[in-house]
Chain A
Amino acid sequence: GENVEQHPSTLSVQEGDSAVIKCTYSDSASNYFPWYKQELGKRPQLIIDIRSNVGEKKDQRIAVTLNKTAKHFSLHITETQPEDSAVYFCAASRGGGGRLYFGRGTQLTVWP
């Protein structure tokens, strides 16, 4: 099956700085890559996703990039704010009936 590795496991940044979280995957057939944000005590929520026919996708301060050749994808958060503090999970799937496999998560802390 798929193996998704996520780094770093913890990340601390100053408010206003950028944060980058990286994930690698093992199954070259994977073609759907969502990112979830989980605030303390709450459920994971989808914040952005990308499909393999796209190299980059942006939504305001959040962007995701995908390198299919190297089998890695990254989440970029610019101008970080304290409310960005949460655990972020990446995931990968073959799509069309394939399972969704999660990374182990990154605890992001944004200091005021």
Chain B
Amino acid sequence: EAQVTQNPRYLITVTGKKLTVTCSQNMNHEYMSWYRQDPGLGLRQIYYSMNVEVTDKGDVPEGYKVSRKEKRNFPLILESPSPNQTSLYFCASSPRQGLYGYTFGSGTRLTVV
């Protein structure tokens, strides 16, 4: 089944403790992206990748890191999480950026205390 898989689905952590949210797609998509969703603010892009080893900042990149060493994987790293990073996170992929719709992962609800 074609899908984008995110893990974990739920995560509660403490301020400053490094964490990684994994994202993997099995559709051979070139483009992958991370979004955070907060009430009233919609979907805001954190980082995106147009292909292996090519990443760029979105609208809200502060406090996040990403890497794209393989085409299928695009992990999101929070080196030192803070409470303002409490949010719902979505990974998404597309065959080509801006030309086709996205396939979203199931989401990761992160709480930083």
Q: Which residues of A contact B (CB under 8 A)?
A: 6, 9, 32, 34, 36, 42-46, 49, 89, 93-100, 102-105
Across chains A and B, the number of contacting residue pairs, with CB separation under 8 Å, is: 59
What are 8 contact pairs spanning A and B, CB under 8 A?
A: A6-B42, A32-B99, A43-B90, A46-B101, A46-B102, A94-B98, A97-B98, A104-B41
Known: A43-B106, A44-B90, A46-B101. 17 other contacts (CB 8 A): A9-B40, A34-B101, A36-B101, A36-B102, A44-B43, A44-B104, A49-B101, A89-B42, A95-B98, A95-B99, A97-B96, A99-B48, A99-B58, A100-B33, A100-B98, A100-B102, A104-B42
| Secondary structure dominating the interface of B | loop
B41 near A100: Cβ-Cβ < 8 Å: no
Q: Which residues of chain A are within 8 angstroms of B40 by Cβ–Cβ distance?
A: 9, 104
- B21 interface contact, C-beta 8 A: no
For the complex of A and B, list the 10 residue pairs with the smallest distance between their C-beta atoms, beginning with the closest: A46-B101, A93-B98, A104-B42, A98-B98, A43-B104, A102-B43, A95-B98, A105-B42, A34-B101, A95-B99
